[in-house]
Structure 1
Amino acid sequence: MSKFYTKITSRLQKFIEAQKIFFVATAPNSGRINLSPKGMDSFRVINENRVLWLNVTGSGNETAAHLLENDRITMMFCAFEGAPNILRLYGKGTELKEGDASWDALITLFPETPGTRQIFDIAIESAQTSCGMSIPFFDYKGERNELNDWATEQGKEGIKNYWENKNQTSIDGLPTHILD
C-alpha cells in the first residue's frame, strides 16, 4: 500500500542513502517526458524538504530545459536488495551552475567529479512509498568509469565545446541556457 509523507523522514533518508541508482523524471509543458537513471555519488538530502542532485555532462540536458519551463521534478528510488520498497520524491527544482551565488558552498558537498554540469536544488513537496514487491533483485557490482574517463579526456574546454554543440537545447528544441 502506498503512503504519502510531507517530508523526508529519517527512515526515508536512510533508504535513499543506501541506494546505488535513482531515476529522475521531468516534462515540458508540451513535448516528451524525460526519465533517466542516475548513479555515482550525486545525491544529497540537505534536510527533510530539500535535496541536491549533482548532474554531470551527458548526451542531453533535458532536466535543465524542463525546469526552466515549469520546475516540476520527480525522483524515484527502488530497493533492488533487502526489503521491497519504492520511494518517489515530488518537488520543484532549480538549476545552479558554476558562478551562481550558492555554487561554491554546495559543490563542496560532492566529490570532485569530471564533467560536472550543474546542481539541481529541489524543494520536496511530498514523498510517496509503495510496496515494490514486483521489483527484482539485482546485485551491485560497482560504478562504471567510462563517463568520468571521457570527461577527464575532454578537459574543461572540451566539455564546454560539447555543451555548445550538444546541450543547448532539449530534444524538443527548448533552450537550456547552459552557457549563460
Structure 2
Amino acid sequence: MAKQFDALSDVLIRFIETQHMFFVGSAAAEGRVNISPKGMDSLRVLGPNRIVWRNLTGSGNETAGHLAQINRMTLMWCGFEAKPMILRCYGSARTLHPRDADFEPLNALFPASHGARQIYDVALDLVQTSCGYAVPFMDYAGERDVLKKWADDRGADGISTYWETRNQSTIDGAPTHILGRQTD
C-alpha cells in the first residue's frame, strides 16, 4: 500500500497545507529516538524537495542535538480528517539559529515570535505515502495559545536565559549548540 516518490507532488503539498499538525523524528547514532508533535503556523513547503519549519522554544531541544551528530530527519503527517493517508518526508536539514545569516529571511515567513529558536531547512530525498486506514478520525478544535503566551511573558531576555539553563543539551547529554559551538 505504500508508495514512494522522489519529490512532493502538488496533491501532496496541498495535503500538507491542510494539516494542523505534523511530527518530527530524529536520532543520533546512540541514545533515544525523538518524535515530537508540532503545530501552530510553523511549516512552509518551499518546493517539491524543500520544507522549512520553525522550532519554537520549548522543554527540550532534541532535534538540534541530533542533527549536530547525524544529519537526518523525518517529517510525518496523518490525515485525521476526511482523507485517510500518512505522509512521510525523509531527508537532511540545515539547522539555523537566530545568530545565522540565513535565519531571518526564513523566519520572516512565519508570524513574529520571541520563542523562535531554530529553523530547519529540510532537503527531501524520499517521500512516502501509506494508507492511514487505522488512523482515527479527529476533529480540529483550534490552536493552543499557551506556548505563545509563555514566550511573550518571558520576552527576549527570558528566552535567552531559558536557552542557557534548559536547552544546551539533549536528554542524552549531547550539545545542541543553541548558544554557539564551543571551542577548545
The Cα offsets for residues 122-142 of structure 1, whole Å up to 9 and x where unpaired, read as: 000010000000000000000
Q: TM-score, with normalisation over the residues of structure 2?
A: 0.96
**Identity in percent:** 52
In 1, the alpha carbon distance for the partners of 2:167 and 2:32 equals: 16
Cα offset, 1:108, TM superposition: 1.2
- Tell me, what secondary structure is at the counterpart of 1:151? helix
- Write the deviation string for residues 19-67 of structure 1: whole angstroms up to 9, x where unpaired: 0010000001100000010000101101111100100001010000000
Q: Is the 8 A contact 2:114 2:159 kept in 1?
A: no
Residue 106 of structure 1 and its aligned partner are, at CA, apart by 1.0
Equivalent residue, structure 1, for 2:25? 25
SS at match of 1:16: helix
Partner of 1:129 in structure 2?
129
Q: Is 2:111 the partner of 1:115?
A: no
3-state SS of the aligned residue for 1:104? helix
Report whether the alignment pairs 1:87 with 2:83.
no
Question: What is the DSSP-based 3-state SS (H/G/I as helix, E as strand, rest coil) of the residue aligned with 2:73?
Answer: strand
Q: Structure 2 CA distance, aligned partners of 1:86 and 1:114?
A: 32
Question: In 2, distance between residues paired with 1:176 and 1:31?
Answer: 14
Corresponding letter in the other structure for 1:179: L
- 1:68 paired with 2:45, answer no
**1:1-180, aligned counterparts within 5 Å?**
1-180=1-180
User: In structure 1, how many angstroms separate the alpha carbons of the residues matched to 2:147 and 2:104?
Assistant: 23
Q: In structure 1, how many angstroms separate the alpha carbons of the residues matched to 2:103 and 2:37?
A: 24
Q: Distance in 1 between matches of 2:175 and 2:114?
A: 24
SS in 1 for 2:28: coil
Q: Which runs of 4+ in 1 moved over 4 A?
A: none
Q: Distance in 2 between matches of 1:158 and 1:22?
A: 28
* Partner Cα distance (1:109, 1:148) in 2: 17
Give the number of aligned pairs.
180
Taking the aligned partners of 1:47 and 1:26, their CA distance within structure 2 comes to: 22
What is the one-letter code of the residue matched to 1:151?
A
Instruction: Report the alpha carbon displacement of residue 114 of structure 1 after superposing the two structures with TM.
Output: 3.2
